[in-house]
Amino acid sequence: MTLAALRPADRPFLGVLLMLGFCVLAPVADAFAKDLGGRVGLFHILALRFAIQTALLAPLAL
């Protein structure tokens, strides 16, 4: 095997898209958490937030 075959592929466009997505989704997620804070328990908000993050990032990890 060559050294190039062992290196992971660089994907700068994917990195830029992930950064832009975070810049859009982070304030929206915080607004939803603030809105739900008076009606739903903290554990439920955290569980929902981590479940959504896992669902969105799982395809990138596979």
d(CA 34, CA 39): 10
In a domain? residue 6: no
Residue range of the domain that includes 44 = 19-61
9 lies in some domain: no
What average pLDDT does range 9-26 have in this prediction?
Answer: 88
Average model confidence (pLDDT) for the chain?
86
Domain assignment present for residue 5? The answer is no
Global pTM value: 0.58
> Does some domain include residue 23?
yes
The amino acid present at 8, given as its one-letter code, is P
**What is the average per-residue pLDDT within 27-52?**
90
Tokens describing residue 52: 């959504």
At 56 the pLDDT is 85
Kindly state whether residue 47 falls inside one of the protein's structural domains. Answer: yes
Is 10 inside a domain boundary? no
Number of domains in the chain: 1
Residue 6's pLDDT band (cuts 50, 70, 90): low
